[in-house]
Amino acid sequence: MKLIFATNNQHKVDEIRHNIGDRFELLTLKEAGINIDIPEPHDTIEANASEKSKVIYEMTKTDCFSEDTGLEVAALNGEPGVKSARYAGEGRSSDDNITKLLSNLEGVGDRSARFKTVISIIIDGKEHLFEGICNGKIINERKGAGGFGYDPVFVPDGTDKAFGEMTLAEKDQYSHRAKATQKLVTFLNNLQKG
Ligand code: ITT
């Protein structure tokens, strides 16, 4: 089964490919010859995930999926949330986003946070949504050189290791993206049986 993954983020591709296995032929936007920066104009993760898959489905009429992810920090009323990619401003780096996050949390006792991923898949024109949540906390300084985005400062519940210190396989045991992808794989497997 051929599926386009509507993302420009190679880290997401690596993580999802790792989980989805070889049963599905997953094409990135680049591999499908599509060169666009898909807008994320909405104020919820769900709506932005939908936007991305709908734009690509309209363009290609091929089964496709997207995902949108946000880091929600309790003491910051859920920020950066939907603005996770551009928290420090448009065009700024992930490291700038982390610097802003740590600065906003300076002296704050409650460090609890969660990652939320929503996958939107469109099969034969019909959309289905799958969510994955990973609860954890924001630490005071960066740890590890692995992962991407906020991984160096996020420690999931159930371990003392930051995502930044984990291999892909270790991150999979905890991650929001792995949980959402597992739901997607179950759905696709059932579809193939039916
Ligand atoms: P798309 O092309 O898929 O939209 P993106 O990088 O713009 O890729 P998002 O809009 O979902 O992705 O932005 C979420 C940001 O949150 C992303 O740029 C990272 O900085 C961060 N992020 C997402 N998943 C993460 C993860 O598993 N670990 C750490 N940070 C993550």
Indicate the helix (H) or strand (E) that contains 115: strand 112-123
Give which of 112, 118, 134 is closest to 184, Cα–Cα: 118
Rounded distance between C-alpha atoms, residue 48 and residue 142, angstroms: 28
Tens digits of per-residue pLDDT, 122-136?
A: 999 999 999 999 999
Q: Is 110 among the catalytic positions?
A: no
Ligand 1 pocket, 51 CB below 6 A? no
- Inter-residue contact 101 to 150 (CB < 8 Å): yes
Domains (ranges, CATH) in the chain? 2-193 (3.90.950.10)
- Tell which one of 7, 9, 11 to mutate to probe ligand 1, the residue whose CB is within 8 A of the most ligand atoms: 9
Rounded distance between C-alpha atoms, residue 140 and residue 18, angstroms: 30
Tens digits of per-residue pLDDT, 40-88?
A: 889 999 999 999 999 999 999 999 999 999 999 999 999 999 999 999 9
| Complex confidence, ipTM | 0.97
Ligand 1 pocket, 28 CB below 6 A? no
pTM of the full structure: 0.96
